[in-house]
Amino acid sequence: MRLPIGPAVSATNATLLDAQSAPPDVRASTDTRTIQEGDTFVALRGANFDGHDYVDEAVRRGAAMLLVDRPDARVAGVATMVVEATTPAYMALAGLARRTFEGRVLAVTGSTGKTTTKEFAAQLLAGRYGSRVIATPANENNEIGVSRVLLNACNAEHDAIVVEMGARNFGDVAALVDIARPDVGILTNVGDAHLEIVGSRERLAETKWGLFSRGARAVLNAGDAASLARADRLTESPPHWFAARDAGADARDVAGRSTILFGRSRLIDSDRDGRRCERIVDVAVPGAHNRANVVAAIAGALELDAGLDSMVDIIAHLRLPSGRFESFRMSGGWRIIYDAYNANAGGTIAALDALAHERARRTIAVLGSMAELGEESERLHEEVGAHAARRAGVLLAGGEYADAMVRGARQAGLGASSIVHVGSNADAARWLRENARDGDVVLLKGSRKYRLEEILEELHP
């Protein structure tokens, strides 16, 4: 989106130098590799880079203006917006872009499932808005990623934005909501991700609830305890509940506006007056947790005025994002399911449940440890180990809390011959190469820091 220079300077509280050469509007770019003629290069800083080191390159590639927080980084004769800090300034530009955007914004957050739900929602909204939907790419869900998608939207090309919002620290979601101002917010669940950093389950719930701090209509999980406990705080508008249930379950325990998927094929949407609309659908994605993500996305799309009929055919062809329950067939006739983009206890348990429903001669769970769980790390890893004992035939446990997973598995009754403590990804790959057989299904699940994709790369180059 191109923003008029005057409002952009005001929004960022910038000092504009060499103003006579400034472009009439600001199109923000943070990457010299993709910069276009006339763009404004924003010199962001990261853990391993400083955009100020690339201002000369940006100008050579066509940048008409720079946005910096180091006056000494200026390039002679090039218009420059000097700000106190470039990241908050970039967010301020994104906030200005959102205020300029005339369409609708759907935001998604939660401890698990937010990237998948975001992807499903964007696909479903295509039934209503066609190609005029833009969504957060991959899982770019921090202040930079959220700002980027807002700045990449424009009224000429888009009617809806789907934004994913992550949180590593207390209050992060509310800060993202301040710039994105979502019309509708989907909260997938409140689990245990980042407990160590946020500090407590209550603070984690409060952080996620920041999704509604600017009045977004709430789409909530009817099976999530934190959402059920906090729903009465939504004084402006009651929530739209979603749920994925067994095929024969009853919907009567969900009051008010609700969208419920029974099994893989029966979808019932009820309005706040109790009127029901039922459709037969075909949900092909694996796992009960992904069925919950599907119905969450359906509920969110309904709140953005997509109709059920426009979504029925799309539901049958929903695509999971990369790194989520991807299946790879090995030359020996066995399969690897790679679901190790990241992991927390709730997500790992859900993946193990999905593994148990795979058609397999034998199921093997290769579990790396889970990061950032704080004081609950030992207990949660024991719980995961115990669940693995009930859902898999063999457990390979690795990472910092492998001993806790092994302990939990043993206490749950998994025999010693079915438990393998692996010291590295190479050890796990070696064991699988020597022991996996035709008909086996292997799950790879663990936190990002353990890089379980190395196992897949070793066995399926």
pLDDT tens-digit readout, 416-440: 999 999 999 999 999 999 999 999 9
Which residues have a Cβ under 8 Å from the Cβ of 48 and sit 6 or more positions away?
none
Please check whether residues 257 and 358 belong to one and the same domain.
Answer: no
**Among 189, 139, 184, 136, CA closest to 163:** 136
Tell me which of 51, 86, 121 is where a domain ends.
86
Q: Strand 394-397's sheet: what is its strand order?
A: 326-329, 335-338, 440-445, 362-367, 394-397, 419-421
Burial bucket for residue 414 (CB in 10 Å: 0-12, 13-18, 19+): buried
pLDDT confidence of 337, banded at 50, 70, 90? very high
Residue 381 forms part of a structural domain: yes
The tens digit of pLDDT for each residue in 351-364 reads 999 999 999 999 99
Percent of the chain residues past pLDDT 70, beyond the cut: 97
Q: Show which of 86, 113, 145 is a domain's final residue.
A: 86
Residues 67 and 107 in one domain: no
Give me the amino acid identity at 169: N
Q: Is the pLDDT of residue 79 over 60?
A: yes
320 lies in some domain: no
Residue 401 in this model has a pLDDT that exceeds 60: yes
- Residue 321 within any structural domain of the chain: no
Q: Which helix (H) or strand (E) holds 208?
A: helix 201-209
The number of distinct structural domains making up the chain is: 3
227 and 139 both lie in a single domain: yes
Decide which of 86, 115, 140 is a domain's last residue.
86
Do 114 and 37 lie in a common domain? no
With a CB cutoff of 8 Å and minimum separation 6, the contacts of 99 are 181
CATH number at residue 368: 3.90.190.20
Position 93 in a domain: no
pLDDT at position 202 is 85
Residues 112 and 176 in one domain: yes
With vertex at residue 107, the alpha carbon angle to CA 103 and CA 108, rounded to the nearest 5 degrees, is 155
Q: For residue 105, which phi and psi values (nearest 5 degrees)? A: -125, 130
* Chain centroid to CA 14: 32
More confident residue, 441 or 170: 441
Q: What is the pLDDT of residue 47?
A: 84
Residue 243 lies in a domain: yes
Domain identity same for 129 and 107: yes
Residue 348 shares a structural domain with residue 450: yes
- Would residue 96 count as lying in a domain? no
Mean pLDDT, the chain, whole residue set: 94
Is 107's pLDDT higher than 90? yes
The whole-number pLDDT of residue 375 equals: 83
The burial of 190, by beta-carbon neighbours within 10 Å (0-12 exposed, 13-18 middle, 19 or more buried), is given as: buried
Hey, what amino acid is at 76?
A: A
Task: Tell me what pLDDT residue 344 has.
Answer: 87
Instruction: Give the pLDDT confidence score for residue 16 in this predicted structure.
Output: 97
pLDDT tens, 259-318?
Answer: 999 999 999 999 888 789 999 999 999 999 999 999 999 999 999 999 999 999 999 999
Point out which residues pair with 68 in neighbouring strands: 82
The average pLDDT across 315-328 equals: 94
Q: What is the pLDDT of residue 374?
A: 82
| pLDDT > 80? residue 251 | no
Please check whether residue 422 is in contact with residue 316, taking contact to mean a CB–CB distance below 8 angstroms: no
Query: 172-180 and 201-209 are packed helices; what angle lies between their axes, rounded to 10 degrees?
Result: 0
Contact (Cβ atoms closer than 8 angstroms) between residue 239 and residue 187: no
Q: In this structure, are 343 and 212 located in the same domain?
A: no
The CA-CA-CA angle for residues 149, 163, 53, to 5°, reads 35
**Residue-wise pLDDT tens digits, 167-202:** 888 889 999 999 999 999 999 999 765 555 565 778
Residues 191 and 193: their CA atoms lie apart, in Å, by: 6
Domain residue limits at 307? 101-315
**Amino acid of residue 317:** H
* The model's pTM: 0.91
| Same domain, residue pair 24 and 123 | no
pLDDT value of position 373: 84
Same domain, 40 and 105: no
Residue 214 resides in a domain: yes
- Chain-centre distance for alpha carbon 433: 32
Q: What is the mean pLDDT of residues 225-230?
A: 93
Extended strands (E) in 223-292:
240-245, 258-262, 266-270, 276-280
> Quick one: pLDDT at residue 253?
66
Q: Find, among 446, 254, 216, the residue nearest to 344 by Cα.
A: 446
